[in-house]
Amino acid sequence: MWIAIAIIAFLLIALYLSAHYNWWRPKVDENYPRVLMYHSINRSVEGIAPDLVVSPEAFETQLQYLNKNGYKFYTISELLEAKSTGKAVVLTFDDGFRDNFTEMFPVLKRHNAKATIYLAPDIEGIERLDQHQIIHMRDSGLVEFGAHTMHHVNLDKAESGVAFAEINESKAVVEQLTGLACKAFAYPFGRFNDETVEQVKKAGLSSAVSVKKGIEQVTDPFRIKRISVLGSTNSLQFHLAITRGRYRV
């Protein structure tokens, strides 16, 4: 009897760990680019889901891991324009949190890494980057700025005219803020449809990232998959995410 219970308990624990860590997934080709998704880098941010907030210490450990394992950092447009990249990683940050300057940028510089920040200029409910901070990061040559709609809207649900205006205007405002062409876009909430893709192209953008999980060779630059790094992601999970593309079922 007790042996049966022990065996069942062991199997349940093994099943849980397998589902949680995905160690059994095959490794992804190391020459496929890793596009990571972050939001806030901070200790904690009021009103923001804890999983969207990665501590500066964890972020630093992740950059150390990437450098130690021979990954080269690119911005999203550099990656798409490069002829050959080798082991490539793109760090993306959605929404334009102020802490991307105060907390993330110092760590980025220390590790000579690069980032792509997608700004939603009129997003509500977060402390946003100001233009001075944006210019400072632009001048470092380490940060590309992309667009993320004006108000962080669900483009799959928005009326067609509204959706296009949100995309087009955010591109124009990012260009005003940076003084540079804005080529990159991120779909808010990862929500889009075929018409959204056409609108992003029509606005003159050259790429768009989704929240679909995975690592692959980029064949469609308007449906780029990403790996989300969360506040709860531990070092083992980060390693599995980088090598396997995901760490949870």
Nearer to Zn ion, 211 or 218 (CB): 211
In angstroms, what is the minimal distance from the CB of 190 to Zn ion?
9
Nearer to Zn ion, 120 or 203 (CB): 120
- Please state, in angstroms and as integers, the Cα–Cα distance from residue 35 to each residue in 124, 148, 176, 197, 226, following that order: 26, 17, 26, 19, 5
Nearer to Zn ion, 188 or 221 (CB): 188
Residue 50 near residue 40, CB atoms below 8 Å: no
Quote the radius of gyration of the chain (alpha carbons, Å): 19
Nearer to Zn ion, 73 or 185 (CB): 185
**3-class secondary structure for 138-187?**
HHHCCEEEEECCCCCCCCCCCCHHHHHHHHHHHHHHHHHHHCCCCCEEEC
Distance of CA 101 to the CA centre of its chain: 16
Work out the widest C-alpha separation in the chain, in whole angstroms: 73
In angstroms, what is the minimal distance from the CB of 148 to Zn ion?
6
Nearer to Zn ion, 188 or 231 (CB): 188
In angstroms, what is the minimal distance from the CB of 234 to Zn ion?
24
In angstroms, what is the minimal distance from the CB of 196 to Zn ion?
15
In angstroms, what is the minimal distance from the CB of 97 to Zn ion?
10
Q: Name the nearest CA neighbour of 118 among 41, 183, 26.
A: 183
Q: Which residues are at the interface with Zn ion (CB under 5 A)?
A: 94-95, 188
Cα separation of 101 and 115, whole Å?
A: 11
Nearer to Zn ion, 94 or 103 (CB): 94
Residue nearest to Zn ion (CB): 94
SS3 for 81?
A: helix
In angstroms, what is the minimal distance from the CB of 6 to Zn ion?
46
Cα separation of 21 and 13, whole Å?
A: 12
